[in-house]
Amino acid sequence: MAEAHALPDTFPKYLLRNAELFGSQWAMRHKDRGIWQSWTWSQQQGEIRDFAIGLAELGCRHGDKVAIIGANRPRLYWAVCAVQSLGGIPVPVYADAVAEELSYVLSHAGVRFAVVQDQEQVDKLGSFADKLTDLVAMIYDEPRGLADYDLSALHDFADVQKMGRSAQEEDAGRAKAWEDGIRSASGDDISIMLYTSGTTGRSKGVMLKAKNAVKAAQDTVAFDRLTEKDSVLAYLPLAWVGDHYLNYAQGYVSGFTMACPESGQTVAQDLRELAPTFYFAPPRVFEGLLTSVTIRMEDASRLKRWLYRYFIEVARKHGEAILEGRNVPLGARLSYAFGNLFIYGPLKNVLGLSNIRVAYTAGEAIGSDLFSYFRSLGVNLKQLYGQTEAFLYVTCQKDGEVRSDTVGPPAPNVDIRISDDGEVQFRSPGMFSGYYLEDEKTAETMTPDGYVKTGDAGFFDTDGQLKIIDRAKDVGKLASGALFAPKYLENMLKFFPNIKEAVAYGDGHEHAAAFINIDLQAVGNWAERNNIAYASYQELAGHPLVYEMIAANVEETNRRLSKEPMMAAAQIRRFLILHKELDADDGELTRTQKVRRSYVAERYAPLIEALYDGSSEKFVETEVTYEDGRKGKIRATVKIADAPVFGAADPVREAAE
Amino acid sequence: MNAHPGNDLIVAPDDDGIAKGALLMDVKNVSLAFGGVKAITDISFDVRKGEIRAIIGPNGAGKTSMLNVINGFYTPQTGTITFRGHARRAMKPHHAVRQGIARTFQNVALFKGMSTLDNIMAGRSVLMKRNIVWQMLWHGPALAEEIEHREKVEEIIDFLEIEHIRHTPVGKLPYGLQKRVELGRALAMEPSLLLLDEPMAGMNLEEKEDMSRFILDVNQQRGTTIALIEHDMGVVMDLSDRVVVLDYGKKIADGPPDQVKADQAVIDAYLGVSH
């Protein structure tokens, strides 16, 4: 084949291609002054060219690192491509990072330029300017509030574009030279450097090669059949691999339209106005949507409530089958069509999901009811599993083969294996080429034969879909040697509305057991409806009827566990309902509301003992910190309940005999 | 047929031909009484173009009365007010508006059932040149004018960062945001002089900080002259260029914040020395 027909191997090459193929189609939209402003691919190429040449005038060269900091805005996305077109390396950084984090990342990366959104970011960078020894110039998008600043090393984005334009006027060959530079660029150049969010230690700069990044995007664009007719709303943090991949990389490869919201607070409205065809959101966003729908429906008129309940039930029974094209009786199809007319259609319209062709969720476990709710409305919601080191996709679900408890089979051209100790390892087209300046850490993350260690424990289910169960370091073994994955159990328990938090124990013990925190709102509501009087959280938590209710939830969890060969041994034999809510002020949760399992174990050691010594209740005294900082003590006698287990396989008893 | 009577006075603040720092409004020997109750006694002060001027004083000192006099809501028994070179005594609030004076109120006075956008748009009505027939026809020049005004309103929405509540009925908004919308409506008139009646009243610390930021931005970036009444002394001293202090309807001090703060009469008035 002639070289001209070869697929591009960098994103700027795709820019040139898209301007040629889809010149008059929208590439970018942004709501400004209440109106959607749009740029076609050829206009976008012009904007990027002017900025890139202006940036080159300022001294940006091949290999220079350029920080990009701010919200999802067209100019920042253009800056990414402009930097790439010069052979530079964009380094997007989380806009809400505090000065200290920002200072670490920018000086570690050795950025020479920074393209930032507004005064806030300029001020933040200004506060540690002395550490940024390599920084030559800062460019801002919004001039507001910057009038009084020393402007010698500070440039307005528009002025840089103006510099680019006058350079082109002076030298007629300049634009052509810029395009030639793009065409002759190598796919082996680093396309982008994404810093990990740093929840587990210092952020690391993940380097991704252009040809790998492009290849990964080509694979998933083909997988989900994305074309230039699709559209997305880019509302997730610019510096997150998901946003860069799903919106930028896939957008350039497929030529679809990317829209930027007016502001962070208008995303829901913007979504409704645009109704994109491709959508990604973490589970908590879907949960928020469902909650707001439920609350609004409770305030609706009787007729509407009845219609909603009736048709949601129809959708629950047949919606997913219809979505997946399975056989459904004619009567049910008819009911569903009516439901679509009266309920699902208007509902999706309000949520901005009317035109969704493909939607993904990832990041944490999603409850099966929540997942099914959206799918039953006809939203093709699927799961994926990914990492920055993979340039996102490791696995993703095919249309029609979707389940809530798995993350799908390997994505196209991705190799996955499970190591002997249960860790998921992969090799993929979009795989990173190392952490910037941290070869040691790179070596730690890679296996000698070139696989990337994810740090997650998982296994393949019978139908070839990957199931992620926990962080590998948290996975333990019961005394019998059977697998024990605490988070997996906790998630299953937490999907019950009555259970707010659960902490599972079992590593090194004979069986699994759990602490449970009831959800005060849900259980309180239930108590009110059933005329159960209670004076405090503690009293409600210890109520025999509440124990009965939670016992039913645990029993159901065990029933589900018993159906999974890998997990059947880890059924919960004993549980207790904690007398106080786990609280970040007491150190029991992290500030991001994650349970600190080992700390809780230490704090409630007598209770853990009681879970395993067969006693039916235990007295505990716990120190608590009140909101105003005073300390106090809570005393309680906590009951411990037994739960039935299911299934023939019962390795625990065997081990005991 | 195009112009309202009195429209010839309407000009954007930057075009009023008065240089920054020059006299914008001069209040001379103004007294106001309601029957036998003297609200304001012989007060004189001036407002210079481009400054933030504060009027402070303990409860019942006559601050709001003073604002109402400037605004044309009350007519003083004696004294004159010269605004942009025009002296006047008796006038109606809508004359004040046409002369370029806009205000916000101590208790939010918005159209609660209308959206943020419509409320701010209402602030533009004084600047609309087409008459009601044209506007009802909603065509040609009237439509072009509407678009032009809408653009200005969007500028204000962007300026005050209230995009997300553009279409929300104002009555549903929290208090701090309502105050911001009210500021937006006053700004929509493109006033030469903006009167703020206790802009921070009833706000929490964060809302106060936001509001202070916006007041400074309005002053610095839009070049609007501001006269404000405020209880919160910290805010007043940080924001304003010059302060007038009233007590029992009389002026007891006038000058830059630091000077006023050190003034014995002011300290006595605030700490409550017996009169």
Q: How far is B251 from chain A (nearest CA, A)?
A: 36
Close Cβ partners of B201 (under 8 Å, ≥ 6 residues apart): B106, B231
- Find the CB nearest B164 among A144, A145, A266: A266
Contact A265 B164 (CB under 8 A): yes
- Mean pLDDT along residues A581-606: 86
- Answer yes or no: is pLDDT of A328 > 60: yes
The proportion of chain A whose per-residue pLDDT surpasses 70, expressed as a percent, equals 97
Q: Is A120 on the interface with B (CB under 8 A)?
A: no
- Mean pLDDT along residues A251-272: 95
Could you say which of A471, A504, A523 is where a domain stops?
A: A471
CB B87 within 8 A of CB B107: no
> Which band of pLDDT confidence, cut at 50, 70 and 90, is reported for residue A2?
very low
- Answer yes or no: is pLDDT of B79 > 70: yes
Q: Are residues A466 and A484 in the same domain?
A: no
- Answer yes or no: is pLDDT of A260 > 90: yes
Domain extent at residue A370: 281-471
Q: Are residues A484 and A461 in the same domain?
A: no
Residue A251 lies in a domain: yes
pLDDT of residue B20: 85
Q: Strand A205-209 to strand A190-195: parallel, antiparallel, or no bridges (unpaired)? A: antiparallel
pLDDT digits (tens, 9 = 90+) for B140-151: 778 888 888 999
> Which band of pLDDT confidence, cut at 50, 70 and 90, is reported for residue B222?
confident
Helix axes A174-183, A74-85, angle to 10 degrees: 80
Residue B165 lies in a domain: yes
Q: Are residues A339 and A446 in the same domain?
A: yes
Q: Are residues A504 and A450 in the same domain?
A: no
What are the percentages of helix, strand and coil residues in chain A, rounded to 5? Answer: 45, 20, 35
Instruction: Residue B166: list chain A partners with CB under 8 A.
Output: 34
Beta-carbon contacts below 8 Å between A and B: 28
Residue A431 CB-density burial (10 A; 0-12 exposed, 13-18 middle, 19+ buried): buried
- Answer yes or no: is pLDDT of A52 > 90: yes
Instruction: Residue B217: list chain A partners with CB under 8 A.
Output: 145
- Token pair, residue A203, equals 């952020």
Domain extent at residue B115: 108-189
Q: Are residues A292 and A275 in the same domain?
A: no
- Number of domains making up chain A: 3
Contact B161 A263 (CB under 8 A): yes
- Mean pLDDT along residues B179-206: 91
CATH of the domain at A534: 3.30.300.30
Q: Is A266 on the interface with B (CB under 8 A)?
A: yes
- Mean pLDDT along residues A185-208: 88
Residue B157 lies in a domain: yes
Closest CA to A321 of A371, A376, A368: A376
Instruction: Residue A262: list chain B partners with CB under 8 A.
Output: 163-164
Could you say which of A251, A279, A307 is where a domain stops?
A: A279
Q: How far is A264 from chain B (nearest CA, A)?
A: 9
- Answer yes or no: is pLDDT of A655 > 80: no
Q: Is A144 on the interface with B (CB under 8 A)?
A: yes
Contact B163 A265 (CB under 8 A): yes
pLDDT digits (tens, 9 = 90+) for A76-106: 999 999 999 999 999 999 998 888 889 999 9
Q: Are residues A54 and A33 in the same domain?
A: yes
Instruction: Residue B167: list chain A partners with CB under 8 A.
Output: 269
DSSP code string of chain B:
--PPTTGGG---GGGS-PPTTSEEEEEEEEEEEETTEEEEEEEEEEEETT-EEEEE-STTSSHHHHHHHHTTSS--SEEEEEETTEEESS--HHHHHHHTEEEE-SS----TTSBHHHHHHHHHGGG--S-HHHHHHT-HHHHHHHHHHHHHHHHHHHHTT-GGGTTSBGGGS-HHHHHHHHHHHHHHT--SEEEEESTTTT--HHHHHHHHHHHHHHHHHS--EEEEE-S-HHHHHHH-SEEEEEETTEEEEEE-HHHHHH-HHHHHHHHT---
Q: Enter the DSSP assignment of A411.
A: P
Q: Is A33 on the interface with B (CB under 8 A)?
A: yes
Nearest-Cα residue of chain B relative to residue A268: B164
The proportion of chain B whose per-residue pLDDT surpasses 90, expressed as a percent, equals 46
pLDDT of residue B97: 84
Instruction: Residue B177: list chain A partners with CB under 8 A.
Output: none
Question: Element (H or E) spanning A206, and its range?
Answer: strand A205-209
Q: Are residues A260 and A300 in the same domain?
A: no
Residue B118 lies in a domain: yes
pLDDT of residue B11: 40
Q: Is B148 on the interface with A (CB under 8 A)?
A: no
Instruction: Residue B157: list chain A partners with CB under 8 A.
Output: 33-34
pLDDT digits (tens, 9 = 90+) for A375-415: 999 999 999 999 999 999 999 999 989 999 899 999 999 99
Instruction: Residue B155: list chain A partners with CB under 8 A.
Output: 33
pLDDT of residue B8: 36
pLDDT of residue A97: 85
Contact A263 B151 (CB under 8 A): no
Q: Are residues A265 and A305 in the same domain?
A: no
pLDDT of residue B19: 83
> Which band of pLDDT confidence, cut at 50, 70 and 90, is reported for residue A317?
very high
- Find the CB nearest A33 among B158, B164, B221: B158
Contact B221 A33 (CB under 8 A): no
Helix (H, G, I), strand (E, B) or coil at A28: strand
Q: How far is B223 from chain A (nearest CA, A)?
A: 13
Q: How far is A262 from chain B (nearest CA, A)?
A: 7
Q: Is A37 on the interface with B (CB under 8 A)?
A: no
Q: Are residues A310 and A445 in the same domain?
A: yes
Question: Element (H or E) spanning A488, and its range?
Answer: helix A486-494
Residue B198 lies in a domain: no
Q: How far is A272 from chain B (nearest CA, A)?
A: 13
pLDDT of residue A576: 95
Instruction: Residue B158: list chain A partners with CB under 8 A.
Output: 32-33
What spatial distance separates the first Cα and last Cα of chain B, rounded to whole Å? 58
The proportion of chain A whose per-residue pLDDT surpasses 90, expressed as a percent, equals 76
pLDDT digits (tens, 9 = 90+) for A416-474: 999 988 899 999 999 999 999 999 999 999 999 999 999 999 999 888 999 999 889 88
pLDDT of residue A354: 96
- Answer yes or no: is pLDDT of A630 > 50: yes
Residue B98 lies in a domain: no
> Which band of pLDDT confidence, cut at 50, 70 and 90, is reported for residue B89?
low
Q: Is B10 on the interface with A (CB under 8 A)?
A: no
Q: Is B158 on the interface with A (CB under 8 A)?
A: yes
Residue A223 lies in a domain: yes
Closest CA to A155 of A103, A74, A94, A79: A79
- Answer yes or no: is pLDDT of A274 > 90: yes
Contact A147 B221 (CB under 8 A): yes
- Mean pLDDT along residues B191-197: 93
Among A31, A123, A262, A273, the residue to mutate for chain B (most B Cβ within 10 A): A262
Q: Are residues A249 and A293 in the same domain?
A: no
Nearest-Cα residue of chain A relative to residue B216: A145
Residue A2 lies in a domain: no
CATH of the domain at A428: 3.40.50.12780
Q: Hey, which residues does A435 pair with through a beta bridge?
A: A206
Residue B153 lies in a domain: yes
Instruction: Residue B151: list chain A partners with CB under 8 A.
Output: 33
Instruction: Residue B160: list chain A partners with CB under 8 A.
Output: none
Q: Is B217 on the interface with A (CB under 8 A)?
A: yes
Q: Are residues A120 and A158 in the same domain?
A: yes
Contact A34 B154 (CB under 8 A): yes
- Find the CB nearest B166 among A34, A144, A145: A34
Instruction: Residue A120: list chain B partners with CB under 8 A.
Output: none
Average pLDDT, chain A: 92
From CA B7, how far away is CA B11, in angstroms rounded? 9
Q: How far is B155 from chain A (nearest CA, A)?
A: 7
Instruction: Residue B150: list chain A partners with CB under 8 A.
Output: 34
Q: Are residues A390 and A349 in the same domain?
A: yes
Instruction: State which of A9-23, A397-411, B9-23, B216-230 shows the largest mean pLDDT.
Output: A9-23
Which B residues in the span 162-191 are in contact with A, Cβ-Cβ below 8 Å? 163-164, 166-167
pLDDT of residue A20: 96
Nearest-Cα residue of chain B relative to residue A31: B163
Could you say which of A449, A471, A493 is where a domain stops?
A: A471
Q: How far is B121 from chain A (nearest CA, A)?
A: 14
Instruction: State which of A42-46, A144-148, A295-299 shows the largest mean pLDDT.
Output: A42-46
Give whole-number Cα distances, B85 to A299, A300, B17, B242, in Å. Answer: 58, 59, 11, 21
Instruction: Residue B161: list chain A partners with CB under 8 A.
Output: 263
pLDDT of residue B9: 36
- Mean pLDDT along residues B216-245: 90
pTM here is 0.85
DSSP code string of A508-555:
TSSSEEEEEEE-HHHHHHHHHHTT---SSHHHHHT-HHHHHHHHHHHH
Instruction: Residue A33: list chain B partners with CB under 8 A.
Output: 151, 154-155, 157-158
Contact A145 B166 (CB under 8 A): no
Of the given ranges (A157-171, A255-269, B197-211), which has the lowest mean pLDDT? B197-211
Q: How far is B164 from chain A (nearest CA, A)?
A: 5
Nearest-Cα residue of chain A relative to residue B159: A144
pLDDT digits (tens, 9 = 90+) for A475-513: 999 999 898 999 999 999 988 889 999 999 999 999 999
Residue B261 lies in a domain: no
- Find the CB nearest B164 among A144, A147, A263: A263
Instruction: Residue A269: list chain B partners with CB under 8 A.
Output: 164, 167
